Every structure is written in structure tokens, then in C-alpha cells.
Amino acid sequence: MKRSPSLAAGLGLLILASFGLGACSRHAPEAPSVAIDQASLCQVDDYRVATACRPGQKIVFLPARFGNEQLPVMFAALNCDLRYNVALTQGAVTCIFGPITPSQPAAAPSAPASRAQD
């Protein structure tokens, strides 16, 4: 009994797909869970980290001036918990607040010791 080439190719593809899906089932460790507060909204007009809002709270960024399309993206990167949906337009963002925690600035390299002139 001869196997058809398309049957063998289909079987091979099925095996490869099952290995690929198996890799997707491995999850990275989850970040600490924060209770989501759907009842209140924190409104800000500055893209920097919003200190008046609580993690897990809904937050909306409505800038005072319109025109810089990068500000909503920067706001989302700094303030949104990206495990949840983000509503982003050219002028505003709403999401679940999950601010970044800035890393410590790298220490400046020390200057080489000066050599005494003879």
C-alpha cells in the first residue's frame, strides 16, 4: 500500500504544529496580581508616571494640547498594565494603571586615575 505524498506532508505538518503549540503552553511567571478597580477613574493630562492614581485603577490620559501623536504611546508605555487592553487614539489613552518602576540609573564609569607627571 502506497502512501500519498499529500497525506505524508499533512501528517508531518500536523506533528510540527503539535510541537509548536506545546511550546505556547509554557507561561512566563506572572506578575503579582493587583485588584482591578472598575468603579473609579483617574484622569491625567501629563504623560509621565501618574503618581495620583492607584495600581489597578482605570486611568485616562487626556493631554491639555493635541498634536504630538507620540505622547499617547509614551503614556501607555509608562502607565498602562499591558497585560490588559489599552484603548489608544491619536490624542488619548485609557487603560488599567500599572506604572513602570524605574530602574536605578547606572553608575557613571569612574574616571581613570591620573598619572603623576615626572
Q: Spell out the domain ranges in the chain.
A: 37-96
Can you name the residues that pair with 5 across neighbouring β-strands?
A: none
Average pLDDT over residues 10-15: 49
- Cβ contacts of 79 within 8 Å, gap of 6 or more: 47, 49, 50, 53, 59, 61, 93, 95, 97, 98, 99, 100
Angstrom CA distances, 111 to 14, 107, 108, 114, stand at 60, 12, 9, 8
Q: Which three cell numbers stand for residue 44?
A: 491625567
**Length of the chain (residues):** 118
* Residue 86: pLDDT over 70: yes
Write out pLDDT tens, residues 27-82: 545 556 789 999 999 999 998 888 999 999 999 999 988 888 899 999 999 999 99
